[in-house]
Structure 1
Amino acid sequence: MSVQAVCDDLAGKQREIIRTYEELHQLAEPSWQEEKTSGYLAARLRQAGLAVRTYSGHFGLTVDIAGEEEGIVGLRADMDALVQEVNGQVQPNHSCGHDGHSTMVLYAALAIASAGIRPKKTIRFLFQPAEEKVGGALQMMKDGALDGVNVLFGVHLRPIMELENGTAAPAILHGASASVHGTIFGLQAHASRPERGKNVIETAALLVQVLQNVRLKEGCPFSVKMTQFTAGGETSNVIPDRATFKLDVRAQTNEGMDELLEKLKHLFYHVGSLTESRIEWSLPGGVPAATFNDDAAKIMRDAISRVLGAENVASPCISPGGEDFHFYTKQKPEMAGTMLGLGCGLYPGLHHPEMKFDKTALTAGAQILATAVLLAAGEEEG
């Protein structure tokens, strides 16, 4: 069967693809708890005669379609859901589209398997846990899921303000992001004698003001905002001596993130010195920025053109959001990698509790992904 025949097969399964998405949508599970989701995907893959590899300690899984030559082309999906408030109740909710990503990668695997294609290079399908908590990609690499992979593709639904429905981008250039956790130590005093204390709330207020004046060289887009703050007890007449805060830190490039974190280091020291307080901070997590790979993007651009037409190939998406997919390419710089940005009429936006999109776009996404991995694995028409 040809690449086009695989796409035709997927086109005939649109209702089935949407039904699978809706079933996965109901299985929304938090990071590291994707047991039902993983089990559902594994069962579908095994029914197609594919050997599923599972891993101890988490619910990630991989499937290989063996090739004739050395080299492995990978296709990755994320499985976890966001935990957020929906209609007054905090619960797992697929508002980032990971259920859609798993659906598309699943059907790309099923279509290629049912076609009986023996690609030149092995094709590996990866279903990753814990993207939302930024640990899944690193764990999959630690467990050897990326061993031997030379090319890696991913996918993410894009909001309508980035991509129109019916279009797709050959790369998503996510920025770097980090979470900074800090503690301010002051001196407690009675509120009637503020001069005897060191008010951590006033220190935090100064910190917020100073953060607004941070600039990066060469105009790199960035953001640093205080998103959480806690200080004091239940009484209103005590100067608090301890406060905790969290900062959301973002920069469009990895070099910009390094510069920003170095500036924060000096800023914390000087604000603390000015207010005679002490600021301690840590960096518990973050994700690197995307690195554009022309080779992988060319393959994805070709795949989009074949499925949607050349007129519907968009420019790479530039997103201030973060994605742990980029750990793969940062840790393995010799590996070509890119993420498909799929236009699907998504609104009001990613992570919105009532996020909606055109489900028929999942079929086109599966066609593009199947085409990309087959092209990268050496399969051509005929």
Structure 2
Amino acid sequence: MNPIDYIDQQRDEIIKTYHELHAIAEPSWREEKTSKYILNCLKKAGIKTKIFQGHYGIVAEIPGKTNEVVALRADMDALLQEVDGVVKANHSCGHDAHSTMGLFTALAIASSGIKPKNTIRFIFQPAEEKGEGALQMMKEGVLENVSYLFGVHVRPKVEVPFNQASTVIVHGSAATIKGKIQGVQAHASHPEAGINAIEVAAQLVDKFKQIKIQTEVPYSIKMTQLHTENESTNIIPETAFFSLDARAQTNDVMNQLQLLTQETVDQIIHETGAKITWTLEELVPAAIVNKDAMEITQLAIETILGKENVIPVCISQGGEDFHFYTAKTPGLTATMVGLGCDLAPGLHHPQMKFNLEALIYGTKILTETIVIASDK
């Protein structure tokens, strides 16, 4: 059976699968039920699978005539966030949609009986939301012999309209910086005898606002958390902990932000006498645009939706750990499809919704992409 015809026949099952994955949302590194669900579907279809010790990632393969591999990656985890007053795992970033489309791409190709030129590998990845899953999967060797890698992400309707798709998502680099300010405690009646950690933090905020980089590339660095353990109102606080959110549309500008962060901290240390330490955490790199991969996704989108519904580039200042695969593997031909789906109010919004019809044409686009690439 033609894999595209299979997808049409499985329309109701695709929607059902999405709802079932949505209902068992699980946070990063705890995707047990999600992984078991996907694994069972793959095994029923007779697709070769591999699981790992210590996490719930899955690799599935359809053997080809060569050892060269074309891969499709889908993420599985959900966010922990407050929804209607309750903190719970919630698929507000659409990973349940990505897993659904990745799964049915595998099922469609397997059902067709196609013997591809190149081996086709499906990577179901944990912990994207923590920016750690791609790195772990690379340690497991999932990129062995991979020459082409593709991914997908649902997009807000303000970026990519419904029934359209982009050949690439140019995500920016994002990082969290965690820091500690060590001042000197004093009684509030003699503030001159101490170094107020909160006032030091305020100076940091002001200095970060003054950072200017000579570039047209969008960037930002903002303090997003600040707290002390001081429980007395008449004591100058000596210790404060802070977090910074750093973003840049390119990896070069993110590197500059890191250097400027250290310069800023050094200036405040000199001006205040406080001790300040910081570490870079949860860094995800910016996208590396690959024209060869984009040509393949463009052809796939044109085939499924028509030329008029191809969006050449989707720019996003959000981060995505998919880009670790390319950042750590020079020469890898890769891109991520931006799927228009009428998504609103926005990604990571607790009430995020999208038009489920996009799951059908999204699966078709991914299937066409993998079929084209597997014959290269």
TM range (shorter): over 0.9
Residue equivalent to 1:201 = 198
Residue equivalent to 1:88 = 85
Asked whether 1:227 is paired with 2:221, we answer no
Q: 1:29 aligns with which of 22, 26, 30?
A: 26
Show CA shifts across 1:154-208 (max 9, x none). Answer: 0000001101111000100100111100001111111111111111111111111
Amino acid at match of 1:245: F
Amino acid at match of 2:49: V
Q: 2:72 aligns with which of 62, 72, 75?
A: 75
Contact 1:178–1:249 at 8 Å: present in 2 too?
A: yes
Amino acid at match of 2:254: M
Partners of 2:340 and 2:205 in 1: CA distance: 37
Residue equivalent to 1:115 = 112
Partners of 2:180 and 2:205 in 1: CA distance: 14
Contact 1:220–1:252 at 8 Å: present in 2 too?
A: yes
Q: 1:162 aligns with which of 156, 159, 163?
A: 159
Asked whether 1:279 is paired with 2:276, we answer yes
Contact 1:182–1:279 at 8 Å: present in 2 too?
A: yes
SS of residue matched to 1:10? helix
Asked whether 1:308 is paired with 2:282, we answer no
Partners of 2:318 and 2:107 in 1: CA distance: 31
Partners of 2:230 and 2:210 in 1: CA distance: 31
Show CA shifts across 1:127-176 (max 9, x none). Answer: 00000111110111101111111000000000011011110001001001
Superposed counterparts of 1:327-366, under 5 Å: 327-366=324-363
Partners of 2:57 and 2:311 in 1: CA distance: 31
Partners of 2:190 and 2:312 in 1: CA distance: 61
Show CA shifts across 1:241-281 (max 9, x none). Answer: 01000001011000000011001001001012111211111
Partners of 2:5 and 2:311 in 1: CA distance: 23
Amino acid at match of 1:119: P
Residue equivalent to 1:40 = 37
Partners of 1:325 and 1:71 in 2: CA distance: 20
Partners of 2:213 and 2:113 in 1: CA distance: 53
Identity %: 51
Residue equivalent to 1:180 = 177
Kindly report the root-mean-square deviation, in angstroms, between the aligned alpha carbons of the 2 structures.
0.9
Residue equivalent to 1:236 = 233
Partners of 1:228 and 1:315 in 2: CA distance: 37
Residue equivalent to 1:296 = 293
Asked whether 1:215 is paired with 2:209, we answer no
Instruction: Report the CA distance between 1:232 and its aligned residue.
Output: 4.4
Amino acid at match of 2:55: H
Partners of 1:118 and 1:92 in 2: CA distance: 39
SS of residue matched to 2:61? strand
| Runs of at least 4 residues off by over 3 Å | none
Deviation larger for 12-21 or 260-269: 12-21
Asked whether 1:8 is paired with 2:5, we answer yes
Asked whether 1:248 is paired with 2:241, we answer no
Aligned length in residues: 376
Asked whether 1:129 is paired with 2:121, we answer no
Instruction: Report the CA distance between 1:285 and its aligned residue.
Output: 2.3
Contact 1:109–1:125 at 8 Å: present in 2 too?
A: yes
Partners of 2:67 and 2:295 in 1: CA distance: 22
Q: 1:58 aligns with which of 55, 59, 62?
A: 55
SS of residue matched to 1:220? coil
- TM-score, length of structure 1 as denominator length: 0.97
Asked whether 1:106 is paired with 2:103, we answer yes
SS of residue matched to 1:177? strand
Q: Mind listing any 5+ residue stretches in structure 1 that lack a counterpart?
A: none
Partners of 2:123 and 2:342 in 1: CA distance: 26
Amino acid at match of 1:226: M
Instruction: Report the CA distance between 1:283 and its aligned residue.
Output: 1.0
SS of residue matched to 1:107? helix
Partners of 2:305 and 2:367 in 1: CA distance: 13
Contact 1:74–1:153 at 8 Å: present in 2 too?
A: yes
Instruction: Report the CA distance between 1:217 and its aligned residue.
Output: 2.5
Amino acid at match of 2:110: A
- TM-score, length of structure 2 as denominator length: 0.98
Partners of 1:318 and 1:333 in 2: CA distance: 22
SS of residue matched to 1:217? coil
Amino acid at match of 1:82: L
Partners of 1:6 and 1:28 in 2: CA distance: 28
Amino acid at match of 1:131: E
Amino acid at match of 1:91: K
Amino acid at match of 2:50: R
